[in-house]
Amino acid sequence: MKHQLRMLAIVLVGLLFASASAPRLNAQITNDIRARIDHNFIIGNTTLPPGEYTFHLLQDSELSAMTATNDNEKLSVEFVVRAAIDTHTPAHSELVFRKYGNTEFLSKIFEHGSKAGVEVTETNREEVSLAKHMQHPTEHIEEQQ
Protein backbone atom coordinates (compact mmCIF):
# COMPACT_ATOMS: atom_id res chain seq x y z
CA MET A 1 0.00 0.00 0.00
CA LYS A 2 2.83 2.41 0.89
CA HIS A 3 4.50 1.67 -2.47
CA GLN A 4 1.28 2.53 -4.36
CA LEU A 5 0.85 5.81 -2.48
CA ARG A 6 4.48 6.74 -3.14
CA MET A 7 4.06 6.00 -6.88
CA LEU A 8 0.83 8.03 -6.97
CA ALA A 9 2.60 10.96 -5.28
CA ILE A 10 5.46 10.80 -7.81
CA VAL A 11 3.01 10.76 -10.74
CA LEU A 12 1.01 13.69 -9.32
CA VAL A 13 4.14 15.78 -8.73
CA GLY A 14 5.30 15.01 -12.28
CA LEU A 15 1.95 16.11 -13.71
CA LEU A 16 2.06 19.29 -11.64
CA PHE A 17 5.50 20.21 -13.03
CA ALA A 18 4.52 19.31 -16.59
CA SER A 19 1.37 21.42 -16.53
CA ALA A 20 3.12 24.37 -14.88
CA SER A 21 5.86 24.48 -17.50
CA ALA A 22 3.62 24.00 -20.56
CA PRO A 23 2.94 27.15 -22.62
CA ARG A 24 -0.58 28.49 -22.50
CA LEU A 25 -1.80 27.61 -25.96
CA ASN A 26 -5.34 28.76 -25.41
CA ALA A 27 -4.38 32.25 -24.20
CA GLN A 28 -3.45 33.57 -27.65
CA ILE A 29 -3.67 37.37 -27.66
CA THR A 30 -5.38 38.87 -24.64
CA ASN A 31 -4.82 42.59 -25.22
CA ASP A 32 -5.11 44.92 -28.18
CA ILE A 33 -1.86 45.24 -30.12
CA ARG A 34 -0.99 48.79 -31.17
CA ALA A 35 1.44 49.02 -34.06
CA ARG A 36 3.05 51.63 -36.27
CA ILE A 37 3.52 50.20 -39.75
CA ASP A 38 5.63 52.25 -42.18
CA HIS A 39 4.69 50.43 -45.39
CA ASN A 40 1.64 49.21 -47.30
CA PHE A 41 0.62 45.70 -46.30
CA ILE A 42 -2.06 43.20 -47.23
CA ILE A 43 -4.46 41.25 -45.03
CA GLY A 44 -6.62 38.81 -46.96
CA ASN A 45 -7.60 40.74 -50.08
CA THR A 46 -7.34 44.21 -48.53
CA THR A 47 -4.32 46.49 -49.00
CA LEU A 48 -3.80 48.82 -46.06
CA PRO A 49 -1.69 52.00 -46.10
CA PRO A 50 1.09 52.85 -43.64
CA GLY A 51 -0.10 54.17 -40.30
CA GLU A 52 -0.98 53.47 -36.69
CA TYR A 53 -3.10 50.34 -36.28
CA THR A 54 -4.89 48.56 -33.48
CA PHE A 55 -5.23 44.78 -33.80
CA HIS A 56 -8.10 43.39 -31.73
CA LEU A 57 -9.12 39.77 -31.22
CA LEU A 58 -12.91 39.51 -31.48
CA GLN A 59 -14.14 37.81 -28.31
CA ASP A 60 -17.46 36.60 -29.77
CA SER A 61 -15.63 34.82 -32.60
CA GLU A 62 -14.34 31.96 -30.42
CA LEU A 63 -10.89 33.58 -30.82
CA SER A 64 -10.87 32.99 -34.58
CA ALA A 65 -11.29 36.53 -35.95
CA MET A 66 -9.47 39.83 -35.54
CA THR A 67 -9.83 43.39 -36.73
CA ALA A 68 -7.12 45.79 -37.82
CA THR A 69 -8.21 49.41 -37.50
CA ASN A 70 -6.22 52.35 -38.85
CA ASP A 71 -6.36 55.07 -36.20
CA ASN A 72 -6.00 58.02 -38.61
CA GLU A 73 -8.19 57.06 -41.54
CA LYS A 74 -10.65 54.88 -39.62
CA LEU A 75 -10.14 52.01 -42.06
CA SER A 76 -10.98 48.62 -40.64
CA VAL A 77 -10.60 45.07 -41.91
CA GLU A 78 -11.79 41.87 -40.27
CA PHE A 79 -9.84 38.67 -40.88
CA VAL A 80 -9.80 35.02 -39.82
CA VAL A 81 -6.99 33.69 -37.62
CA ARG A 82 -5.94 30.48 -35.91
CA ALA A 83 -3.60 29.73 -33.02
CA ALA A 84 0.14 29.90 -33.70
CA ILE A 85 3.16 29.18 -31.53
CA ASP A 86 6.39 31.18 -31.78
CA THR A 87 9.83 29.61 -31.39
CA HIS A 88 10.77 32.20 -28.76
CA THR A 89 9.01 34.40 -26.24
CA PRO A 90 9.04 37.92 -27.71
CA ALA A 91 10.07 40.79 -25.45
CA HIS A 92 7.84 43.13 -27.52
CA SER A 93 4.70 42.45 -29.51
CA GLU A 94 5.59 41.28 -33.02
CA LEU A 95 3.95 41.48 -36.41
CA VAL A 96 5.30 38.95 -38.90
CA PHE A 97 5.00 39.63 -42.63
CA ARG A 98 5.71 37.46 -45.67
CA LYS A 99 7.50 39.71 -48.15
CA TYR A 100 7.62 39.19 -51.93
CA GLY A 101 9.70 42.02 -53.41
CA ASN A 102 7.97 45.20 -52.16
CA THR A 103 4.68 43.48 -51.32
CA GLU A 104 4.10 42.42 -47.71
CA PHE A 105 1.35 40.15 -46.39
CA LEU A 106 0.53 40.07 -42.67
CA SER A 107 1.21 36.52 -41.53
CA LYS A 108 1.30 36.30 -37.71
CA ILE A 109 0.87 38.40 -34.58
CA PHE A 110 2.44 37.69 -31.19
CA GLU A 111 1.85 39.58 -27.96
CA HIS A 112 4.87 40.46 -25.82
CA GLY A 113 5.74 37.82 -23.24
CA SER A 114 3.80 34.97 -24.90
CA LYS A 115 4.74 32.28 -27.40
CA ALA A 116 1.03 31.85 -28.19
CA GLY A 117 -0.24 34.14 -30.93
CA VAL A 118 -2.33 34.05 -34.08
CA GLU A 119 -1.74 33.31 -37.74
CA VAL A 120 -3.77 34.83 -40.58
CA THR A 121 -5.58 32.03 -42.43
CA GLU A 122 -6.87 33.96 -45.44
CA THR A 123 -4.67 33.68 -48.52
CA ASN A 124 -4.50 36.59 -50.94
CA ARG A 125 -4.93 35.86 -54.66
CA GLU A 126 -1.82 37.92 -55.46
CA GLU A 127 0.25 35.93 -52.97
CA VAL A 128 -0.95 32.65 -54.48
CA SER A 129 0.12 33.93 -57.91
CA LEU A 130 3.54 35.03 -56.63
CA ALA A 131 4.08 31.63 -55.00
CA LYS A 132 3.05 29.81 -58.20
CA HIS A 133 5.68 31.76 -60.13
CA MET A 134 8.33 30.29 -57.84
CA GLN A 135 8.93 33.43 -55.85
CA HIS A 136 9.88 32.63 -52.28
CA PRO A 137 8.92 35.06 -49.53
CA THR A 138 11.26 36.40 -46.91
CA GLU A 139 10.01 36.81 -43.38
CA HIS A 140 9.93 40.35 -42.06
CA ILE A 141 9.33 40.82 -38.31
CA GLU A 142 8.43 44.19 -36.84
CA GLU A 143 8.74 44.59 -33.08
CA GLN A 144 6.34 47.04 -31.48
CA GLN A 145 7.08 48.99 -28.32
Residue 127 lies in a domain: yes
User: Residue 3 belongs to what H/E stretch?
Assistant: helix 2-21
Contact 98, 107 (CB under 8 A): yes
The domain containing residue 49 runs over which residues?
A: 33-144
Q: Which residue has the higher pLDDT, 139 or 99?
A: 99
Cα(88)–Cα(83) distance, rounded to whole angstroms? 15
Cα(127)–Cα(42) distance, rounded to whole angstroms? 10
Residue 56 lies in a domain: yes
pLDDT class of 81 with cuts at 50, 70, 90: very high
- Chain mean pLDDT for the chain: 79
Q: Which residues pair with 76 in a beta bridge?
A: 69
**Res 134: pLDDT:** 66
Residue 88 lies in a domain: yes
Q: Which residue has the higher pLDDT, 14 or 47?
A: 47
pLDDT class of 145 with cuts at 50, 70, 90: low
Most confident of 1-10, 12-21, 38-47: 38-47
Residue type, 2: K
Residue 5 lies in a domain: no
Residue 7 lies in a domain: no
Contact 115, 65 (CB under 8 A): no
Residue 16 lies in a domain: no
Q: How far is CA 37 from CA 15, 22, 40, 41, 43, in A?
A: 43, 32, 8, 8, 13
Residue 64 lies in a domain: yes
Residue 66 lies in a domain: yes
Mean local confidence (pLDDT), 17-36: 63
**Res 4: pLDDT:** 54
Cα(90)–Cα(73) distance, rounded to whole angstroms? 29
Q: Total domain count for the chain?
A: 1
